[in-house]
Structure 1
Amino acid sequence: MGSATSQKSVGIGIKLIAEYVTDAYDLKLEAHDNQLECRASITVHDTANSIPPVELISLLRKNDIARSVDLEQVAIFCTEAAQGENPQNFVLASGMRPVKGEDGWFELIVSTGDEESPLPVDEKGRVDFKAVQSFSNVEQDQQIGEIHPPTQGLAGETITGVPLPAKAGEPSKLIAGEGVVISPEGTHVIATKPGRAVLDKNKISVLDEFLISGDVDLSVGHITFNGFVVVKGDVLDDFNITATKGITITGAVGMCQIKSEGPVTIGTMAGQGSGSIRCGGDLKASYLNHVTVECQGNISISREVRNSVLKATGRIEVPKGLITGGRAVALEGIEVKILGARAGVKTYVTSGVYFPEEDRLEYLKTQLKSTGKQTTAIKDTLSLLEKNPLKNSRKALQEAIELRAEILKKRFSKLDSEHKNISTELDSFKKAEHPTANPKINILDVAKEGVVVALGQAITTIQEEISGPTSIVEDSPLGEIRIMTYSPLTIPADETDEKT
């Protein structure tokens, strides 16, 4: 190694770091991959005096390559060189490549319905195939997602220790659509109205309408939604719909439970005696058969109602059709083209009554009677048990009788308390004033014999057909029903004095 070495540096191309020429070898050091690798190539002339690892490390240090040196690679390189293998492009040192920061991303914490979700199973292991709704009902001011910010990334360095800055991640490109806002700090997505979350690419929205373009069947299941439900097809038997803002069904509805805090519009409904509609607004339908309706508004039927129970806090109007069978109760009047039928089930109509009060009163009376009967029966049973000569009975029988008596006493105490509470409520029950009450029934064509009419304190059964147009009102002083010249429901019954 006594011979002189020559060195020249080149800053072009791959970047020649240094070149060493001696009597024993020719060594070339190059920087590759943007100064991230130091590669060595060697041609050995005298294997006995080939470059040792210590000398090679010293040369690397002279070129500011120290921390990134791979000592194991240096050892292999020197071994191959001493064996005359002349290694080329051999990596001796590696820098650290900068790592870009992670991009920001949006985490949805409610379900949109696009996700796979298992069917619910009850305690007996039975699967409810109708409970397939998988989207979450979102409430106003509810957080529906979180925006995770980008990270800064990890800086790198070259083989000579020169820092290599890292790029930060890109922020989330989430767009706030209808019904949502992003919090001021940019980390939370908040619903501004109830509904369901919809994520379309990078746009998040909360929609208050749920549209079913076809039928409600096993592919849709029961529906419970914070908003409007619109069904373009039919609703098959035993599929229920509950919506807070309203329901519109274009087609036919079967034996189902339809509930809404808003208005309901349907085509037809055959409830088979167990189908029901409960709405907090107006109800519009073409045809109802064997359906129970409780409506906090007006009921408008375009064709007919058969064997159904209609209750409205507004008006019941069937101006082009008929009501036959069942019962109709309205606060603000009833108007119908044809009422009743010549034969068959009787038709009952009541107007001027606020049905929630009437229903509560009827419930209290029924419960009072039921609890009274039960307490009396328990008293009689306890009396018989007390007369039983327990001291002469077997011990097991004595214990059984005593246990039964204890259970009956607890049951009696509970029923007696309930009976007293119901009795107190009944004694204090007072109907509220309802300024819009209109005990009036308008017949546009005919009312059949056998129809039972109740207005205020008056109740009667129509003995002969009444031809319309005519109005039926209460004759308050006499407590009877009277038939008047027709006047629209907008005119209260007590404002007409004409008697026919």
Structure 2
Amino acid sequence: MASEKLFRDGLKFQNDVFVLKVSRDRLGVVVVPQKTETPVSLVRDELARVMIEEGIVFGVLAEVEPRPDGSFWVARGSIQRHGDDSRIKMYIKPSVIRVPKVMDKERDQVDFRELGNIVNVEKDRLLLEIIPPTPGIPGQDVFGAEIPAKPGKERKIKCGPGVLLSDDGRKVFAARAGKFVMADGKPSVYEEHVIKGDVDMSLGNIAFGGRHLIIQGGVPSGFSIKCRGDITIGKGVHNSLVMAGGNLKVGGSVLGEDSVLRAKGDVEIAFMENGPFVEAGGHLTVFTSSIQCQALVGGNFYLKGKGTVVGGKYFVGGSVYVRDLGTDAEVQTVLHVGVNPAIQKRKQQLDKDLNLWAERLNKAIKNISALEKIKRERGRQLPQEKAELLDKYKILMPKAMARVHSLTEDNNALEQELKQMTAEMVCVAGILYPGGLISIGNATRYITSQDQQCVVYFDQATQRILIRKMGAEELASFS
């Protein structure tokens, strides 16, 4: 064991001209020259002998290193490196939420659906990873003794709803699509987002990838609202864009020519007027009136309550159920019933493809016939260029025939489907005013006289649109 003197006063050597000292942390050894009348050089062999005698065996320098005070470093130990604590590596920057210190006494918990900005994530997306702690690297003092290093601390993470922790407890994945938040340090994915009031400039346009977007207020002019799932709006929509991947409900009015509402599912609106456009993949239900609007509806069009449709143009894949259609002012109201936009689009594409492949088939047949005729007339092989062209058409012809056959079958099936859509109708429980135009399938009828409690339908026998009185059961369904 090194003597205390070696640390405090040092050990004199080489005729007391130099003093060997070790730092208190045992990580450094210095040689301090003493004052002499004439300069004396340090003898390395003598220094080595003294250090070995004192047990200094680690970190001995090949060359001494001068210090500012005139002494020399002759040995240095290695400092231990403590381990790093585990850390969180974020793959997506979340919205960070803190629970308010003062909570609403009327509520027993914070509704995180109402808090934080929207950071959309897909299901199964890797959100974060806990990087393990490192063990640390031990050091060694000049006497060769190990200086232990402290290992880094392990960090555990608590998860909130909507996330999955990997089996090793290191990775956090989104268990569902929605908004990613760190709620009081807990990674969470919420599939609902709630806006307590109106949409305004502080929120801006909204795009939510979760299951349900709830706006308790309204949407004023100039905003864009999009959600992969359902959208519920408590009040109205004025001259804004709203798009839902599921159902859409609007508790107030939809107003203005710049209002565009689209939903892949059903749409429900209190009332709409002054030129908005509504597209519903499913049913469209309006609870009071629709005035001068445009709509594209995959299912049925229902008018509840007052149930009035005045003006505008509507393309409806199913049937229309309305109380009053038009007004005594004979405002033109256009209804195209039994028109499924998706099927119509498929039919148009099928017709286009069928014409294209039929033309290719005819061209192949004509060219094969012409080239074979030339070959017979010459009684010898065709030139290489024409022979290659003949082979090309012979390869194309069976492919074109198969394609034409397939497209023809698809087209016939689709025509049958379109024919069945002529079974859709317009049911008017109140008054049918003149001035309207109703199309069912390929037939069209202008309404020239007033009628009431009637059904406008397509008669297969006469291939015309007729009007009959509504039955008692049909009328009762409106009440």
Aligned residue runs from structure 1 range 60-99, under 5 A: 60-73=51-64, 87=70, 90-99=72-81
- CA displacement 1:199-258 (0-9 Å, x = unmatched): 56844322324678746999759x473543456644748x684x331234653344x583
Check 1:150–1:189 CA distance in 2 against 1; reply closer, same or farther (3 A cut).
same
Q: 2:135 aligns with which of 152, 159, 174?
A: 152
Give the Å deviation of 1:68. Answer: 1.9
Following the alignment from structure 1 to structure 2, what is the Cα–Cα distance between the partners of residues 198 and 48?
A: 72
Aligned position for 2:406: 421
2:59 partner letter: S
SS in 1 for 2:295: strand
Counterpart of 1:329 (choices 316, 325, 334) is 316
Please state if 1:105 is matched with 2:87: yes
Cα deviation digits, residues 290-328 of structure 1 (max 9, x gap): 525233244235442424134253552253443423125
How far off is 1:138 after superposition? 0.9
Report matched runs for 1:397-416 at 5 Å: none
State the identity as a percent: 15
1:151 shift after superposition: 1.0
Q: Is the 8 A contact 1:340 1:448 kept in 2?
A: yes
Over 3 Å counting, the alpha-carbon distance change for 1:25 and 1:100 in structure 2 is same
What aligned pairs does 1:330-349 form with structure 2 within 5 A after superposition? 331=318, 334-339=321-326, 342-343=329-330, 345-348=332-335
- Per-residue CA deviations over 1:424-466 (Å, capped at 9, x if unaligned) read 134445659x9xx99562445x432133457899986433234
Query: Residue type matched to 2:245 in 1?
Result: S
Q: 1:269 to 1:55 in 2, by over 3 A?
A: farther
Residues 373 and 185 of structure 1: CA distance in aligned 2, closer, same or farther (over 3 Å): closer
Structure 1 residue 58, shift from structure 2 partner: 2.1
Q: Pick one of 214, 227, 231 that aligns with 1:247.
A: 231
For the residue of structure 1 that corresponds to 2:4, the secondary structure is coil
Contact 1:346 / 1:450 at 8 angstroms: preserved in 2?
A: yes
Task: Report what 2:212 is aligned to.
Answer: 228
Letter in 2 for 1:299: T
Q: Give the structure-2-normalised TM-score.
A: 0.67
Q: Equivalent residue for 1:296?
A: 282
Distance 1:324 1:335, change over 3 A: same
Alignment-derived partner of residue 10 in structure 1:
4
Equivalent pair of 1:23/1:46 in contact (CA under 8 Å): no
Q: In the TM superposition, what are the counterparts of 1:88-487 in structure 2 within 5 Å?
A: 90-110=72-92, 137-139=121-123, 141-172=124-155, 174-199=157-182, 202-209=185-192, 214=199, 220=205, 223=207, 225-229=209-213, 233-234=219-220, 236=222, 241=226, 243-248=227-232, 251-254=237-240, 258-265=243-250, 268=254, 270=256, 277-284=262-269, 286-287=271-272, 289=275, 291-320=277-306, 321-327=308-314, 329=316, 331=318, 334-339=321-326, 342-343=329-330, 345-348=332-335, 350=337, 356=340, 360=343, 363-364=346-347, 367-368=350-351, 371-372=354-355, 375=358, 419-428=404-413, 441-444=427-430, 446-452=431-437, 461-466=446-451, 470=453, 472=455, 480-484=466-470
Per-residue CA shift, 1:358-398, capped at 9, x if unaligned? Answer: 852785378448845994799599979x99xx9xxxxxxxx
Change (3 A) 1:407 1:478: closer
Flag structure 1 segments of 5+ consecutive residues without an equivalent.
Answer: 1-7, 81-85, 115-133, 391-400, 494-500
- Shift of the 336–407 alpha-carbon distance from structure 1 to 2, 3 Å rule, reads farther
Q: TM-score, normalised by structure 1?
A: 0.65
Distance in 2, Cα, partners of 1:216 & 1:379 = 61
SS where residue 360 of structure 1 aligns? helix
Seen in structure 2, the aligned counterparts of structure 1 residues 474 and 383 have a Cα distance that, compared at 3 Å, is closer
Distance in structure 2 (CA, Å) of the matches to 1:179 and 1:87: 67
Contact 1:195/1:206 (CA < 8 Å) preserved in 2?
A: yes
The residue type paired with residue 12 of structure 2 is Y
> What's the counterpart of residue 396 of structure 1?
none
The one of 11, 18, 29 aligned to 2:21: 29
The one-letter code matched in structure 2 to 1:29 is: K
Q: How many residues are treated as equivalent by the alignment?
A: 433
Give how far 1:414 is off.
7.7
- Aligned to 2:263, the other structure's residue is in SS state strand
Alpha-carbon distance in 2 for matches of 1:453, 1:18: 112
Asked whether the equivalents of residues 330 and 436 of structure 2 are also in contact (C-alpha less than 8 Å), the reply is no
CA distance in 2, matches of 1:369, 1:313: 26
Counterparts in 2 of 1:409 and 1:137: CA distance versus 1, 3 Å:
farther
Distance across 1 between alignment mates of 2:291 and 2:285: 11
Range with bigger deviation, 363-372 or 305-314: 363-372
Question: Deviations along 1:332-373, whole A, 9 cap, x unmatched?
Answer: 7513445367445442264xx6x65x8527853784488459
Distance 1:276 1:481 in 2: 32
Q: Residue 57 of structure 1 corresponds to which residue in structure 2? A: 48
Change (3 A) 1:199 1:217: closer
Q: Alignment RMSD, CA only?
A: 5.4
**SS class of match (1:421):** helix
CA shift for structure 1 position 149? 0.8
> C-alpha displacement at 1:189, in angstroms?
1.1
Change (3 A) 1:409 1:283: farther
CA 1:310/1:146 → structure 2, altered by over 3 Å: closer, same or farther? Answer: same
